[in-house]
């Protein structure tokens, strides 16, 4: 049986605006340590490599030094708070659900490939009532590798049952674009996500500013017209 085409989306900064809740969890940890809190702008610049990296970057930004054991304990505080408040302020970006439904109605598989832990990713998608739209969620701990390793994307595609030769990655960062390039899969980049450098600098195949433009952007890719 022929495998269907597949749309693979990054989560934080692409599918869902999660920065406010991630910032809140980070600041709970920093407050506990008597350290200054991060602004939303500062927090956005730290997102993309997973929750542990966010915490470590937040600590580093304050000039604080903590042992591995101390950071491990703080990470548990972060996870406890974030899990309990994972969708207090996080929301899907405008038009993203309609775009997903557009592709699904045409027989595409839809998947998530994120460096966020799989359990947290699923909890977030479930809280937002959209988990059922995805054939697979490839989280930061789902496989032995994570983005920008191309195997993270390829394994997510395989898990979803999609056709790797008819796959499109959608992301917001250098990491997402590098992952697609490393895997030989075209990338449509959103220009409203979590990057301090405009995504055009990383050379994605297409750039969109709203998810309503995603179908046309994908259709304009070589080999994707009519899909």
DSSP 112-137: EE-SS-HHHHHHHHHHTT-GGG-SEE
Say how far apart CA 30 and CA 66 lie, in whole Å: 12
Say how far apart CA 12 and CA 171 lie, in whole Å: 9
Which helix or strand (DSSP H or E) is residue 79 part of? helix 68-84
The closest alpha carbon to 37, from 50, 52, 22, belongs to 22
Long-range CB pairs of 194-202, under 8 A, 24+ apart, other chains included: 194/12, 194/13, 194/19, 194/44, 194/45, 194/47, 194/48, 195/13, 195/48, 196/44, 196/45, 199/172, 199/173, 199/174, 202/173, 202/174, 202/177, 202/178
**Candidate list 10, 12, 21, 176, residue with the active-site label:** 10
DSSP label at residue 138: E
10 is catalytic: yes
The closest alpha carbon to 135, from 155, 169, 161, 171, belongs to 161
Helix orientation angle between 19-32 and 51-62, rounded to the nearest 10 degrees: 50
Residues noted as catalytic: 10
């Amino acid at each position: 049986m022929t495998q269907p085409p597949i749309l693979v989306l990054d989560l934080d900064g692409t599918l869902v605006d999660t920065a406010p809740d991630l910032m809140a969890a980070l600041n709970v940890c920093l407050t506990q340590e008597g350290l200054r809190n991060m602004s939303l702008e500062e927090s956005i610049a730290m997102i993309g490599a997973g929750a542990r990296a966010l915490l470590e970057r937040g600590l580093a930004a304050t000039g604080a030094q903590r042992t591995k054991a101390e950071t491990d304990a703080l990470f548990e505080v972060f996870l406890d708070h974030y899990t309990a408040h994972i969708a207090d302020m996080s929301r899907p970006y405008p038009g993203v659900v309609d775009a997903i439904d557009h592709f699904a109605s045409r027989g595409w598989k839809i998947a998530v490939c994120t460096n966020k832990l799989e359990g947290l990713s699923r909890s977030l998608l479930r809280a937002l009532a959209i988990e059922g739209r995805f054939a697979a969620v490839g989280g930061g701990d789902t496989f032995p590798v994570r983005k920008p390793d191309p195997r993270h994307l390829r394994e997510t595609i395989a898990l979803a049952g999609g056709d790797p030769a008819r796959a499109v990655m959608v992301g917001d960062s250098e990491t997402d674009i590098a992952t697609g390039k490393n895997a030989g899969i075209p990338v449509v980049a959103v220009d409203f996500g979590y990057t301090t450098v405009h995504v055009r600098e990383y050379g994605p195949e297409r750039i969109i500013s709203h998810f309503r433009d995603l179908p046309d952007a994908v259709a304009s890719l070589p080999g994707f017209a009519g899909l």
